[in-house]
A and B are shown apart, each in its own frame.
Chain A
């Protein structure tokens, strides 16, 4: 699972736009670009959920 972040303007922070399921980064990239295509983004980045560090959990 990959967490997808994007922004529409460079002065805006990256915001979480959703997740995609993929085995590898190439397919994750294709899926993110084709699923979250509602805006013309200036930046989109993906992070594997497995690499996240939990800071707070309740």
Chain B
């Protein structure tokens, strides 16, 4: 479908960041398909990896639409990925997995939720489709966060350390929701509002179990 889009740097960055972060989050999840602490969570890790990589696969064609055809708009030939830094390295432990699942996966969904009715209709339709799969990711992240918070001081501290490693990049990532994207109707809310929505959602889980609010 051909659409008239504002050819902005912000839009290109938005689509590229969503695609790259979904791809790298999927890769990191996939590394735990055989290493998760229970067989059940290994299957969940595999399913979530498949979801995220599938989402990335559906987003790269949009990058081609907004940035033009080039090796940099194809997942297989792209070299200048703009994913958040903590996804550049394998998770050091299960608490890192849980922190990324609980915080960053949720942040991606909060931003996608503001694109449901995007003026960039192809992004809106993909956002709605992706968000159908995300409730299970949220349940997995919040379920494990609550579980680990009650598993003794060592585990609890490891979780806090992991959350502290993931939270800064996650909060900063919302800067992607630039004001001109809201003005153009591509996103419904800007960075500050999305960050607050995200904080409200995760703090509703963190605070009752005595974990530091984000």
Q: Which of B114-168 contact A (CB under 8 A)?
A: 136, 139-140, 142-144, 146-147
Q: How large is the interface on A (under 10, 10 to 19, 20 to 34, 35 or more residues)?
A: 10 to 19
**With A26-B139, A37-B47 given, is the CB distance from A31 to B41 under 8 Å?**
yes
A22 cross-chain contacts in B, Cβ below 8 A? 40, 143
B147 cross-chain contacts in A, Cβ below 8 A? 23-24, 27
Bound-state CA distance A50–B15 (Å) is: 47
Q: List 20 A-B contacts (CB under 8 A).
A: A20-B40, A21-B38, A22-B40, A22-B143, A24-B143, A24-B146, A26-B140, A27-B41, A27-B143, A27-B144, A27-B147, A29-B136, A31-B41, A31-B43, A34-B43, A34-B46, A34-B48, A34-B136, A35-B43, A37-B47
Q: How large is the interface on B (under 10, 10 to 19, 20 to 34, 35 or more residues)?
A: 10 to 19
Closest B-chain residue to A31, C-beta based?
Answer: B40
A23 cross-chain contacts in B, Cβ below 8 A? 147
A34 cross-chain contacts in B, Cβ below 8 A? 43-44, 46-48, 136
Find out whether the CB atom of A27 lies under 8 angstroms from the CB atom of B140: yes
Residues of A that sit less than 8 Å from B by CB: 20-24, 26-27, 29-31, 33-35, 37
- Specify the main secondary structure of chain A where it touches its partner: helix
Bound-state CA distance A2–B196 (Å) is: 36
A30 cross-chain contacts in B, Cβ below 8 A? 44, 136, 139-140, 143
